[in-house]
Amino acid sequence: MADVTITVPQEIVQALRLPPDAVAAELQREPGHGALPAGHPAGKAAALAEMTRWEWGELLGARKIPRHYADEDLDRDIAYAARGQ
């Protein structure tokens, strides 16, 4: 699959009221909030935003966006934590 490039009109960029050097990074984070359907790994959304999974989780928490976290995810995390002991 090829990369997709979009053009954001100048009036939209101005409406964001962000420093010019922060606009691209902020716009790159936005698609990950809703572009990936439930069931897709958070790592994919984080990669789309060019963030680590930890940074992605922090961003979602700061914006009070619920995370997709199934029982299987919890089981996997518990097993991973148990192996580290």
Listed by start position, the domains of the chain span: 10-83
pLDDT of residue 46: 79
Report how far residue 51's alpha carbon sits from residue 4's, in angstroms, rounded to the nearest whole number: 19
Task: Give the span between the Cα atoms of 18 and 42, in whole angstroms.
Answer: 26
Cα 63 to Cα 24, 28, 82: the distances in Å are: 19, 16, 31
> What does each of the 85 residues of the chain score in pLDDT, given as a tens digit?
688 787 878 887 888 788 888 888 877 777 555 555 555 667 777 777 778 888 888 888 888 877 777 788 889 889 989 997 6
Task: Specify the pLDDT at position 15.
Answer: 81
Supply the pLDDT for residue 29: 73
pLDDT at residue 7 in the model? 82
- Alpha-carbon distance values, 10 to 14, 17, 21, 67, 79 (Å): 6, 11, 14, 32, 49
